[in-house]
Structure 1
């Protein structure tokens, strides 16, 4: 209950960023006493929110801490289900592991789990995902879609598209998608998506979408031995990205595409994905141990596989492997 009241106070501040809001108005709007309002304002200040108080005028939010707090994110979130339930952690080994536990415990569809830091973050094929504290987005979405199991991997493309659009909205940078699960800026990886699922032959119990986005990492924070060149929004734009605003943008974009995907299938998002895929028309090398395929990317097939026309003119459906520019 206390967390809900603080979230609603922040929502009022987000809706009227330039206004002073009186304690009486907050009290009446939330159905609590003015003394309770004052106590919650004090707790928000203790959490790092700079809230100005002026006699006879009320309260105004001046600045918010660069912390990913559920109350702050949800206060301005225009989603019906994605992120309505949210867990924000200071540190965890892996948000996907915690989300998997939550799913097994009956966690609701659309629950979002976020961490300031991951000590064991992982990417595709079990590769390590660098996850320093307080600079990026490390999130996992718990979904319970009524879809066939073979369709579930396509949700990776939905998430990638939402990341591209959130980047454009918060920084004006134009990102590209790289099959199957990466987002690139100027040819360098800025985001990766990892999907995990529990299903039976005919139905999905749940899907966990892990989303990592390098927001405010500096060049020095990247390890030198990365398999693929990496970057961050800070490096590319020269400006610090407000992380809570980015999370809200991503979740709202994801929900819109997710709803369309559930209603209309993969065709609802495939054209948009193709449009922001820099690989289409490019020559690539696909490494599939022990084989390598070289050819030109045609686009996505209806099942989400990558279509590559090899050097012998044969159209190949790529379902797994590492793809590199040739």
Structure 2
């Protein structure tokens, strides 16, 4: 197998990940990739420099203790099982105002669909209606994806539900905990908010030019001074799962689930996605009060429409179609 540089390191890391029951020897690696033992040692040193924790034991070989937490393109793509998402550019920024703003700027310069902006910290993270999303360094996964869907403007709200499902399924895969999707954009564990997303749309005339979908997932507990006073209290994956969580593995799981649903929607329309979202939510059939632009609307949730609207049956049989709002 005549591989060089990054390709060799990617394969070595994959081998280490697969070897969950022990060590892999330097001799075995050298034979697999037709390189010297010294070259194996140098590649392992580079992987360590990227932040991967790799143990070396004489006469045993190498063992991966923990994958790197740096969310650089090289690390994110190592072992990433997607065709588009993350394969067309990963823009890693240690600190940024907002990943969505950075992604929107890239989209205006014709960055391809599936391009990512990912950061360790956001100083101006945003939620719906201009709310602040607290994004301290190392505590969460903050990522935005550029999309160029062939959809009508009135269908764009479905992207929020798609992001919701992808985040929930990634959380489930990594933690083993099945969360709840709260309309329109939150992911909850035991009633606490662990993730939220923000969809921003650029219209070119009467068609969708591009969409930026940003998500924030709380991986580690927020510093107490940053815990906001919200209607829905925040929590983190590590608190809920009571174990260490890799942001790299979480991001990779998220991208795989996002690509799956995005491509399925392209092939089959919105119906399968809406069915899955309803499986992950507990809102259908509930009596709710929803705050919409200062007005409180009450009723029973009957369904979610094919374009992502919440259907609320109010007094006198009046049906309300809600694009967004805050459940009180």
Give aligned pairs, total.
Answer: 323
1:210 match: 214
Q: Could you say which residue in structure 2 is the equivalent of 1:136?
A: 140
Alignment pair present for 1:48 and 2:48: no
1:80 aligns with 2:83: yes
Question: After the TM superposition, which residues 131-210 of structure 1 pair with which residues of structure 2 at under 5 Å, given as runs?
Answer: 131-210=135-214
Is residue 265 of structure 1 aligned with residue 269 of structure 2?
yes
How much has 1:167 moved relative to structure 2? 1.6
**Contact in 2 for aligned 1:52/1:59 (Cα 8 Å):** yes
How do residues 102-117 of structure 1 correspond to structure 2 at under 5 angstroms?
102-117=106-121
C-alpha distance in structure 1 between counterparts of 2:244 and 2:66, whole Å: 15
Distance in 2, Cα, partners of 1:87 & 1:2: 21
- Provide the C-alpha distance between the structure 2 equivalents of 1:134 and 1:232, rounded to a whole number of angstroms: 12
Matched, 1:12 2:20: no
Q: CA RMSD in A?
A: 2.5
Q: Which residue of 2 aligns with 1:281?
A: 285
Structure-2 change in CA distance of 1:208 and 1:52 (3 Å): same
Question: Structure 1 CA distance, aligned partners of 2:36 and 2:209?
Answer: 44
Aligned-pair CA distance for 1:66: 3.5
**Which shifted more, 47-56 or 311-320?**
47-56
**Contact 2:23-2:60 within 8 A present in 1 as well:** no
Deviation at 1:323, TM superposition (A): 1.8
Moved more, 280-289 or 37-46: 37-46
Alpha carbons 1:14, 1:75 under 8 Å: kept: no
Q: Which TM-score applies when normalising by structure 2?
A: 0.88
* Cα offset, 1:28, TM superposition: 5.8
What is the alpha-carbon distance in structure 2 between the residues aligned to residue 268 and residue 123 of structure 1? 27
State TM-score, norm by structure 1: 0.89
- Which SS does the other structure have where 2:261 is aligned? helix
Contact conserved, 1:218 with 1:235, CA < 8 A, in 2? no
Secondary structure of the equivalent of 2:221? Answer: coil
Match for 2:224 among 209, 220, 241? Answer: 220
The ranges of structure 1 where at least 4 consecutive aligned residues each deviate by more than 4 angstroms after the TM superposition are 1-5, 31-37, 54-58
Task: Check conservation: 1:6, 1:71, Cα contact below 8 A.
Answer: no
Are the equivalent residues in 1 in contact too, given 2:312–2:320 (CA < 8 A)?
yes
Structure 2 distance, partners of 1:36, 1:203, is 53
Distance 1:193 1:25, change over 3 A: same
Separation of aligned partners in 2, 1:88 and 1:23:
34
Helix, strand or coil at the partner of 2:83: coil
Deviation at 1:252, TM superposition (A): 1.0
Distance 2:225 2:257 in 1: 28
For 2:64, the equivalent position in structure 1 comes to: 61
Structure 2 counterpart SS, 1:117: strand
